[in-house]
């Protein structure tokens, strides 16, 4: 895993340079079929990830938001979001990250994950059994047993996966929890592992938005499941995710379930 981690860090650093080279208020973007923006940086980073993995681990597959390279019978697949937060990035707003996870295809679970914020120069990582880190410093989730005076991150409305996020927003507000929403779920979601947020919920399907968070959060002492409280695969689409400090996971799940439509 140390070898894979070194490789992932190198990829993150190369990707950061590409993102920062393009990042400005004048950046150009197009629109994809799902009504989300796409920039040249997204494409170049995704292509770089595929190229580097093919060079270094030709037996591994790649599942990227902007392009994949699937191979038969590969043990591992690298799951990548080249720029999570393209909406913000395309507007010149500094709320975006690079995310990559190494997923075991026998069960669809990540064994290594890395999230890099090139603006704030914060790199988060973890691998199975090795703990979670930010820039080399060990991190852990909050040990709060209630929601009062904590932060929470929510992404997407939920309609695409059969949920409404309104009951969660309402209930958390009543419990004196401050709900925040970023144009990058990973940007806010990683703060659960970092001990800043009590939880986060992602109401959308893609695995690349949750894979790295899964391993980093759980190595930091937290818990991650799908919206029904079950395990899911991270090498394919699934039923969103609930990210928590573990202590409040069951309560968050119960509130999320009230939003089923």
Which tokens is 130 given? 């090795």
Q: In 3D, which of 258, 241, 107, 94 has the Cα closest to residue 170?
A: 258
Where exactly does CATH 3.40.190.80 map onto the chain? 151-257
What's the topology of domain 151-257? D-Maltodextrin-Binding Protein; domain 2 (3.40.190)
What's the topology of domain 2-138? Fructose-1,6-Bisphosphatase; Chain A, domain 1 (3.30.540)
Where exactly does CATH 3.30.540.10 map onto the chain? 2-138
% pLDDT > 90, the chain: 91
What pLDDT does 26 receive? 86
In degrees and rounded to multiples of 5, residue 249 shows phi and psi of: -60, -45
Q: What is the pLDDT of residues 178-214, one digit of tens each?
A: 999 999 999 999 999 999 999 999 999 999 999 999 9
In degrees and rounded to multiples of 5, residue 31 shows phi and psi of: -115, 135
Q: Quick check: 62 pLDDT over 80?
A: yes
Q: In 3D, which of 1, 78, 81 has the Cα closest to residue 36?
A: 81
pTM, entire model: 0.96
């Amino acid at each position: 895993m140390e070898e894979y981690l070194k490789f992932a860090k190198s990829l993150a650093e190369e990707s950061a340079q590409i993102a920062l080279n393009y990042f400005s208020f004048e950046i150009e973007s197009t629109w994809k079929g799902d009504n989300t923006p796409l920039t040249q940086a997204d494409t170049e980073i995704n292509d770089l990830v595929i190229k580097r993995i093919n060079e270094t681990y030709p037996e591994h597959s790649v599942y990227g938001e902007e392009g994949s390279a699937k191979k038969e019978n590969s043990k591992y697949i690298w799951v990548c979001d080249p720029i999570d937060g393209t909406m913000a990035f395309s507007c010149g707003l500094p709320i975006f990250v690079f995310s990559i996870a190494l997923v075991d295809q026998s069960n669809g679970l990540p064994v290594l994950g890395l999230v890099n914020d090139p603006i704030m120069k914060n790199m988060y990582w973890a691998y199975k059994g090795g703990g979670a880190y930010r820039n080399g410093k060990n991190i852990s989730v909050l040990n709060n047993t209630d929601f009062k005076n904590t932060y929470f991150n929510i992404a997407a409305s939920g309609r695409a996966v059969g949920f409404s996020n309104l009951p969660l927003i309402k209930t958390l507000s009543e419990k004196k929890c401050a709900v925040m929403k970023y144009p990058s779920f990973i940007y806010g979601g990683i703060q659960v592992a970092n001990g800043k947020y009590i939880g986060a919920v992602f109401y959308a399907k893609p695995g690349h938005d949750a894979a790295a968070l899964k391993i980093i959060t759980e190595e930091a002492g937290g818990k991650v499941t799908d919206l029904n409280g079950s395990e899911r695969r991270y090498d394919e689409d699934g039923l969103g995710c609930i990210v928590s400090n573990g202590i409040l996971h069951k309560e968050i799940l119960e509130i999320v379930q009230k939003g089923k439509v």
